[in-house]
């Protein structure tokens, strides 16, 4: 243990702890800007500087190790002056058009300038815009970048991709795409984690709200909206709603109040995905010699981009099932259009997702299987939904509880847990058990695959058939898992991978609370909804059963393959 004095208070911490951690242990808050615990502890912003007795220079509290007998001041005149100057320098390099910034009022730099009472910046402005493809799902505005390096270290350490790097030097130092590439020629998975961890508005998702409003106000168009399971865990955060206020029913009412024609639940097609993907797994097991193992899930487009760029030899291992978003789009412009007697060419299909990569997925040329243009026309993030609700001056807290429209609003508890890491695996195992035995397991029989971060493995037995399963979230964990498979250290039959740590609840399109990982708070909401659901098995969804009866015939039928499955080899990542 190490004892030191901070602002006249005695702190005792473990050896190796930083001054920042020591200060926190005694309730002293040291402001930080670039800091992310265990990820970005580089002292780049110099906002957390402190004065150590006997040292000539100030030290960054985030990466200076506490030593026995240290005497530290966190608010001396010297510290306050340095902190202020460092913030002013950051502001001088930052485009301060806050009124038109997507992160206004949710920007750490803006908040810190207000807290430090900075009313003017004495340095010449030197913010530099950069050229960027505005049609790309991820947008970077270099004039807002403060070189905190969070995006760089997170992409490298957590997602193991290294898309970002430093370019230039001294006063011209800036963050840019590594290797001198343009972003659309990079290995970017579009997970959006760099967006949710940027403390300012230098990174954001492409805004597609105008496209949706144009469709809403077009009298010739029917706007059909699907809402992903993870959205219900977070949709109210940017609207100031508490967890109890942000109910599923109120979410439905908020979307309907925008003026759309139908509000459906992506959980319907999550159940459909389980039927197709689960049947595919069983078919592969029955003909194991004809397939590569393990079978990987294909729900997450960020994961698909990752495996295509990093391990293209594993593409044949992917399930051919489309993601729930894309299955829903195909169903909307075929079976639903027929039932509702709608012209599918006049349907504008919108999905609300916790994800940035979904914006790329819906635009893939193979995602137009219904034959009427893209099966999903536009993808909105959870953050865009909140902005649209605000634009329409809708008081979400005052809305009554609404209900999803039928039939694509019917779903099960198995579908809702898709939004948490391990949820796809658990839902699939529930139905695989039924398909093998003809009876349902206990709903929590496969809860061993649940978890917040990292990767987990389990061997489950279904009537004597052993199924080796693994679950990983975060692309760094995915890489570790794949390397063990490739080296022969691990063998599995079925693997679920989600690009974002914690799964879709921690997706790159979810609301941002800087410095906090919210997936562990959001996932229990989905498990509570599952537990409360009247139906907890995908194969028991009556709407899915009706869809097969009236349109798809059965899982893996010719029509199912045409509309609900895809050819992963039909598109490629840039090389």
What is the DSSP pairing of strand 465-473 with strand 455-462?
antiparallel
The CB-side HSE value for 316 (13 A sphere, CA atoms) comes to 6
What pLDDT is stored for residue 187 in this prediction?
97
C-alpha to C-alpha distances, 376 to 43, 72, 207, nearest whole angstrom: 43, 57, 16
Compute the distance between CA of residue 258 and CA of residue 500 in angstroms, rounded to an integer.
29
Which of 187, 205, 223 delimits the end of a domain?
205
Q: Please write the tens of the pLDDT for every residue from 292-306.
A: 899 999 999 999 999
What the block records as the tokens of 4 is 């030191």
Specify if 106 maps to a domain: no
Which of 141, 175, 205 delimits the end of a domain?
205
Average pLDDT of span 342-359 = 98
Residue 473 scores a pLDDT above 90: yes
Strands of the 465-473 sheet, one edge to the other: 295-296, 494-498, 465-473, 455-462
Cβ-based neighbours of 476, under 8 Å, separated by 6 or more: 157, 158, 159, 160
What is the DSSP pairing of strand 465-473 with strand 59-60?
unpaired
Domain count, the chain: 3
- Do 154 and 287 sit in the same domain of this protein? no
- Do 70 and 183 sit in the same domain of this protein? no
pLDDT band at 131 (very low <50, low <70, confident <90, very high): confident
Average pLDDT of span 197-219 = 98
Compute the distance between CA of residue 417 and CA of residue 73 in angstroms, rounded to an integer.
48
Specify if 115 maps to a domain: no
Specify if 432 maps to a domain: yes
What the block records as the tokens of 5 is 């004095």
Strands of the 9-13 sheet, one edge to the other: 9-13, 2-6, 71-73, 49-52, 59-60
Q: Please write the tens of the pLDDT for every residue from 43-68.
A: 999 999 999 999 999 999 999 999 99
The residue to which tokens 């909804």 are assigned: 529
- Do 194 and 225 sit in the same domain of this protein? no
Specify if 495 maps to a domain: yes
> What 8-state DSSP symbol labels residue 398?
G
R_g (Cα) of the chain, nearest Å: 25
Compute the distance between CA of residue 157 and CA of residue 475 in angstroms, rounded to an integer.
10
Specify if 383 maps to a domain: yes
Here the CATH number for the domain that contains residue 84 is 3.10.20.740
- Do 388 and 326 sit in the same domain of this protein? yes
Torsion of CA 414, 420, 424, 427, to 10 degrees: -20
Q: Please write the tens of the pLDDT for every residue from 298-328.
A: 999 999 999 999 999 999 999 999 999 999 9
Residue 466 scores a pLDDT above 90: no
What is the DSSP pairing of strand 295-296 with strand 164-167?
unpaired
Here the CATH number for the domain that contains residue 559 is 3.40.50.1780
**DSSP code per residue over 210-227:** HHHHHHHT-TT-EEEEEE
- Do 234 and 181 sit in the same domain of this protein? no
Compute the distance between CA of residue 380 and CA of residue 435 in angstroms, rounded to an integer.
35
Compute the distance between CA of residue 26 and CA of residue 9 in angstroms, rounded to an integer.
7
Compute the distance between CA of residue 267 and CA of residue 269 in angstroms, rounded to an integer.
5
The CB-side HSE value for 563 (13 A sphere, CA atoms) comes to 27
Compute the distance between CA of residue 354 and CA of residue 496 in angstroms, rounded to an integer.
18
pLDDT band at 170 (very low <50, low <70, confident <90, very high): low
- Do 188 and 224 sit in the same domain of this protein? no
Average pLDDT of span 147-155 = 96
Burial letters 57-83, b for 16+ CB under 10 A, else e: ebbbbbbbebeeebebbbeeeebeebb
Q: Please write the tens of the pLDDT for every residue from 94-108.
A: 999 999 999 999 999
Number of CB atoms found within 10 A of residue 504's CB: 36
pLDDT band at 575 (very low <50, low <70, confident <90, very high): low
Residue predicted with more confidence, 225 or 575: 225
Compute the distance between CA of residue 252 and CA of residue 230 in angstroms, rounded to an integer.
14
The residue to which tokens 């029913």 are assigned: 249
Specify if 489 maps to a domain: yes
Compute the distance between CA of residue 319 and CA of residue 326 in angstroms, rounded to an integer.
14
Q: Mutual orientation of helices 209-216 and 382-391 as an angle, nearest 10°?
A: 50
- Do 174 and 187 sit in the same domain of this protein? yes
C-alpha to C-alpha distances, 169 to 147, 175, 177, nearest whole angstrom: 12, 11, 15
Specify if 118 maps to a domain: no
Specify if 110 maps to a domain: no
**DSSP code per residue over 438-469:** SS---TTTTGGG--SSSEEEEEEEETTEEEEE
What pLDDT is stored for residue 173 in this prediction?
81
Compute the distance between CA of residue 412 and CA of residue 537 in angstroms, rounded to an integer.
6
The residue to which tokens 């100030």 are assigned: 58
Residue 232 scores a pLDDT above 80: yes
Beta-ladder partners of 494: 295, 469
pLDDT band at 339 (very low <50, low <70, confident <90, very high): very high
User: pLDDT over 90 for what percent of the chain?
Assistant: 91
- Do 63 and 34 sit in the same domain of this protein? yes
pLDDT band at 453 (very low <50, low <70, confident <90, very high): low
- Range from 121-125, 214-218, 384-388 carrying the lowest mean pLDDT: 121-125
CB of 226 closer than 8 Å to CB of 252: no
- Do 442 and 532 sit in the same domain of this protein? yes
Q: Please write the tens of the pLDDT for every residue from 387-397.
A: 999 999 999 99
What pLDDT is stored for residue 362 in this prediction?
98
Q: CA nearest 563: which of 401, 383, 344?
A: 344
Cβ-based neighbours of 37, under 8 Å, separated by 6 or more: none
- Do 216 and 348 sit in the same domain of this protein? yes
Q: What are phi and psi of 9, to 5 degrees?
A: -115, 140
Which of 47, 63, 90 delimits the end of a domain?
90
Cβ-based neighbours of 275, under 8 Å, separated by 6 or more: 431, 538, 539, 544, 548, 555
Here the CATH number for the domain that contains residue 157 is 3.30.70.20
Q: What is the mean pLDDT of the chain?
A: 95
- Do 185 and 233 sit in the same domain of this protein? no
- Do 229 and 307 sit in the same domain of this protein? yes
Q: Note down the domain range covering 45.
A: 2-90
What is the DSSP pairing of strand 222-227 with strand 347-353?
parallel
Compute the distance between CA of residue 98 and CA of residue 113 in angstroms, rounded to an integer.
12
Determine the 3-state secondary structure of 420 from DSSP.
coil
Burial letters 291-318, b for 16+ CB under 10 A, else e: eebbbbbbbbbbbbbbbbbbbeebeebb
Q: Please write the tens of the pLDDT for every residue from 261-287.
A: 999 999 999 999 999 999 999 899 888
């Amino acid at each position: 243990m190490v004892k030191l004095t901070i602002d006249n208070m005695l702190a005792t911490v473990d050896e190796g702890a930083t001054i920042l951690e020591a200060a926190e242990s005694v309730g002293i808050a040291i402001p930080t800007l670039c800091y992310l615990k265990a990820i970005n502890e580089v002292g780049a912003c110099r906002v957390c500087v402190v004065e150590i007795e006997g040292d000539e220079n100030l030290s960054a509290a985030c990466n200076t190790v506490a030593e026995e007998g240290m005497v530290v001041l966190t608010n001396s005149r010297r510290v306050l002056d340095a902190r202020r100057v460092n913030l002013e320098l950051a502001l001088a390099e930052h485009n301060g058009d806050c009124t038109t910034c997507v992160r206004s009022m949710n920007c750490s730099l803006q908040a810190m300038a207000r807290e430090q009472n900075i009313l003017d910046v004495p340095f010449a402005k030197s913010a530099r815009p950069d050229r960027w493809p505005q049609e790309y799902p991820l947008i970077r505005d270099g004039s807002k970048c403060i070189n905190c390096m969070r995006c760089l270290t997170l992409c490298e350490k957590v997602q193991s991709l290294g898309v970002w790097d430093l370019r230039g030097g001294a006063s011209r130092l800036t963050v840019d795409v590594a290797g001198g590439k343009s972003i659309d020629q990079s290995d970017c998975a579009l997970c959006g984690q760099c967006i949710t961890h940027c403390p300012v508005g230098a990174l954001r998702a492409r805004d597609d709200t105008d496209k949706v409003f144009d469709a809403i106000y077009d009298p010739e168009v029917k706007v059909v909206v699907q809402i992903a399971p993870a959205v219900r865990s977070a949709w109210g955060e940017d609207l100031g709603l508490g967890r109890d206020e942000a109910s599923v029913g109120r979410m439905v009412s908020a979307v309907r109040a925008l003026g759309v024609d139908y509000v459906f639940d992506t959980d319907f097609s999550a159940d459909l995905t389980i039927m197709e993907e689960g049947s595919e797994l069983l078919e592969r097991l029955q003909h194991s010699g004809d397939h590569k193992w393990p079978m990987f899930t294909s729900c997450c487009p960020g994961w698909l981009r990752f495996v295509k760029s990093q391990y293209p030899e594993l593409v044949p291992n992917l399930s051919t099932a489309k993601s729930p978003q894309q299955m829903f789009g195909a169903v909307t412009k075929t079976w639903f259009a027929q039932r509702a007697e709608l012209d599918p060419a006049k349907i504008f299909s919108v999905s609300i997702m916790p994800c940035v990569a979904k914006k790329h997925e819906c635009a893939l040329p193979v995602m137009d299987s219904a034959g009427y243009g893209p099966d999903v026309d536009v993808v909105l993030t959870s953050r865009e939904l909140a902005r649209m609700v605000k634009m329409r001056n809708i008081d979400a807290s005052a809305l009554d509880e609404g209900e999803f429209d039928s039939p694509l609003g019917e779903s099960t508890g198995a579908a809702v847990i898709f939004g948490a890491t391990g949820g796809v695996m658990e839902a699939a195992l529930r139905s695989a058990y039924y398909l093998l035995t003809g009876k349902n397991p206990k709903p929590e029989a496969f809860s061993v695959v649940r978890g917040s971060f990292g990767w987990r493995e389990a061997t489950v037995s279904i009537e004597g058939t052993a199924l080796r399963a693994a679950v990983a979230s975060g692309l760094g964990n995915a890489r570790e898992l794949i390397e063990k498979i490739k080296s022969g250290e691990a063998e599995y039959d079925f693997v679920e991978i989600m690009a974002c740590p914690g799964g879709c609840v921690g997706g790159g399109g979810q609301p941002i609370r800087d410095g906090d990982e919210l997936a562990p708070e959001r996932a229990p909401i989905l498990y509570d909804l599952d537990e409360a659901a009247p139906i907890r098995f995908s194969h028991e969804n009556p709407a899915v059963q009706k869809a097969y009866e009236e349109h798809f015939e059965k899982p893996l039928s010719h029509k199912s393959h045409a509309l609900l499955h895809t050819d992963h080899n039909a598109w490629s990542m840039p090389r």
